[in-house]
Every structure is written in structure tokens, then in C-alpha cells.
Amino acid sequence: MKKNIKFYVIIVLLLLIIGLTIFGVIYAIKNHNKTDILTIDNMNNKITINSNQLDSISQPITDAPLVYKELPKAKDTITEIDFKTFKKIFQTEGKSILILVKDRCNYCDQFIPTFENTLNYYNIKAYKIDISKISSNASIDMYNYIDYEGTPTTYIINNGKVKHVLSGSVDEDTLKAFIDYFYLRNN
């Protein structure tokens, strides 16, 4: 009888050890990126995003000379531009915000209202370029100015150079923090 009890105790302990090991592996897999988080301080509110969303894509250094003093006229809160105007932004002194989108992008459709609300909140304007609407040659040439891994991607451009990049769709508080810190505060 005592041998049976010892046997059952050993089985229960082995099952417990196996269960804890499986739990540990699953926990480690789910939480392995928890240290890969950035925090932006926006007027005493902490906004947290993954570090792969902020400035993670190295941008090309454009050699376009700054030949314009004023940015192209932004008619609306978000002004859609063609590739010619896109290139002009990189030849202009001054700071601008550009969002890269494409047709049939669910993330873009979700993000545009948030982007527009944020721009209205700060009373600023931005440019939008739809990569679905440009030629294949222009699409290739675009990589001389910006790099991206997906859409939507938001760029802060200053004096013809990309200074900061926010990849993907984010909530309004995160977008406000990004624009406040990197566009309005001149960081």
C-alpha cells in the first residue's frame, strides 16, 4: 500500500513539474518582447509603444538641394499629394508631416480618422501620399527619399530630411505624443 502511495505522489509531482515547465515556456514566449517598449512623456501622460514602431527604419539621406523656402500649400487638414509634390517637400526648408498610405489597407482606414483628429487638435496640417496611385518608376524613386515596411507610416520631415518615423496604426494619445514631442517641440 505504501509503495502505491509513493508511486502516486511521484506521478503527481512529475505532472506538476511538467505543467510548470510548460507554463514557463508559454509565459516566456508571450512575454519575450516586454523589454522592447518605449515610453514617450507627453505632458505627464506616459504613452507606451513598441520600439519597432518608432524610428526603427533607417531612412535614406537625400541629396536633394533645398531650393524652396515654403512648403507646398496644404489645402485641407490632410492634403493628398502626387509624387512631384512629394519630392518638393524634400527640397523645401521647413518642417512637415507626411503620412504614407495605400488603397485597401485596413490599418490605414482605421488610422486616418485618428490622424485627422490629432491634426485638428493641434491645428496643424499634413500631407498624404497614396503609394497605390503612383507609377512603378516613382515607387522605386521614392526609396531615395523614404523607406517603409508597411502602411500607414507617419514621417516628420525637417529641411528635406526625415527626422522621425512612426510605423503602423496607433491610438490617438500615442499619435498626439509623437506629434507633440517630435513635431511641435522641435526634437
CATH of the domain at 88: 3.40.30.10
> What's the pLDDT score for residue 47?
52
Q: Kindly state whether residues 61 and 94 are assigned to the same domain.
A: yes
> What's the pLDDT score for residue 128?
97
> What's the pLDDT score for residue 48?
59
Q: Is the Cβ–Cβ distance between 70 and 92 less than 8 Å?
A: yes
Q: Which helix (H) or strand (E) holds 3?
A: helix 2-30
Tally of structural domains, the chain: 2
Q: Kindly state whether residues 79 and 10 are assigned to the same domain.
A: no
Q: Kindly state whether residues 150 and 87 are assigned to the same domain.
A: yes
* pTM beyond 0.85, yes or no: no
In sequence order, the 6+-apart residues with CB closer than 8 A to the CB of 80 are: 127, 128, 129, 130
Q: Kindly state whether residues 4 and 53 are assigned to the same domain.
A: no
> What's the pLDDT score for residue 46?
52
Q: Is the Cβ–Cβ distance between 156 and 185 less than 8 Å?
A: no
- Which residue range forms the structural domain that includes residue 1? 1-32
Q: Kindly state whether residues 9 and 81 are assigned to the same domain.
A: no
Tens-digit pLDDT string for the chain (187 aa)? 667 888 888 888 899 899 899 988 887 777 665 545 555 554 455 555 666 788 877 888 887 888 889 999 989 999 999 999 999 999 999 999 999 999 999 999 999 999 999 999 999 999 999 999 999 999 999 999 999 989 999 999 999 999 999 999 999 999 999 999 999 987 6
Q: Is 138 exposed, middle or buried, given 0-12, 13-18 or 19+ CB atoms closer than 10 A? A: middle
Q: Is the Cβ–Cβ distance between 160 and 144 less than 8 Å?
A: no
> What's the pLDDT score for residue 55?
80
Q: Which residues pair with 144 in a beta bridge?
A: none
- Nearest partner of 153 among 126, 122, 123, judged by Cα: 126
